[in-house]
Amino acid sequence: MQTNSITSSLKFLLAAGCVAALGSSALADTAKFYTGMSGYGGPFNGAGTVYAATSGLGTNCPTVGVCNADNVQATEIFATSVQVTATAGTGQQVWGDFSPAFGGLGVQTTALGSSDDDQITGGEVLHLHFASAVTLTGIGTLFDPAHAPFGFDPTTTNFLLSTTSGSAGFNPLSFTTVNTVGGISLTGQDFWFKQQLDAAGAPNGAEFYVSALTFNAVPGPVVGAGLPGLIAAAAGLVALARRRRRQVA
C-alpha cells in the first residue's frame, strides 16, 4: 500500500514538474497608442475587434514628449506589461499621433509641419521591440476621418509585417484579420510594419497607424523546475520507496 502511494506521488510530482518546467501560464495583455475611448466610427470597431478590447482602457503614453498631441521622436518607449520601444527606419522618426482621438503610431521622414503625413506610408518602416518575447494576437489600425485620406480601402487591402529585419521578411496581412483579437499568432520580440507596395514600388494598400495591440507574454522557464530538478526529485522518491520496503521486510 505504501509502495502504491509513493508511486502515485512520484507520478504526480513528475507531471507537476513538467508543467512547471514550461513556465507560468501566459496572460493576455494590451497596448493602446491612441487617446480616444468610445465613439470610433471607422472600420473594425465591433465586438471581438482590438478596438473593442482596448477602447475602455487608459492610453499607454510614451515616456518622452506629450500624449495629447503630435509627438515626433527618434525613440518612443511605452510602459506596458512588457515594455515596448518604437523606432523607425533610417532617416525616419516615430510619429505618435495622439490628437485627434483615434490616431496611433506612424512614421515621418521630414520635419514636423511639412507636407509629410503621420501614417505609415511609402517606404516608411515602424519597428516595435518588446523587452521580452510575446505572441501578437491582434493589431488595431484605426482610420479616423479627421485625419488625412488613407489612399485605399483598408477592408479590401493588406499591409506588410515582418518578424525579421530586412525587406525579404515582409508578408502581407489583411487589415480585417489583424483587427480581430485572435486573428493572428506571431511570436517574437521585434515586429516591423510597412505599407503594401506593388512591384513597381507604388502603394497598393492603405496607409495606417499601429493604434493598439493585443498580445500574450511568452512564459519563461521557472528556476529549479527544469530537467535536473525533476531527476533529483524522482531519485529522492525512489530512495524513500526502497527504504520503506526494507522497513516493511
Distance CA 136, CA 80 (A): 14
- pLDDT-based confidence at residue 20 (cuts at 50, 70, 90): very low
Alpha helices in 32-147 (DSSP H): 50-54
Q: What is the pLDDT of residue 125?
A: 94
Q: What is the pLDDT of residue 17?
A: 47
3-class DSSP state for residue 216? strand
Residue 114: all three cell numbers together: 511639412
Residue 32: all three cell numbers together: 493602446
Q: Is the pLDDT of residue 212 over 90?
A: yes
Alpha helices in the chain (DSSP H): 2-21, 50-54, 175-178, 227-248
Q: What is the pLDDT of residue 15?
A: 47
> What average pLDDT does range 162-180 have in this prediction?
89
Q: Is the pLDDT of residue 16 over 60?
A: no
> What average pLDDT does range 80-88 have in this prediction?
97
Contact criterion met (CB below 8 Å) for 105 and 86: yes
More confident residue, 234 or 124: 124
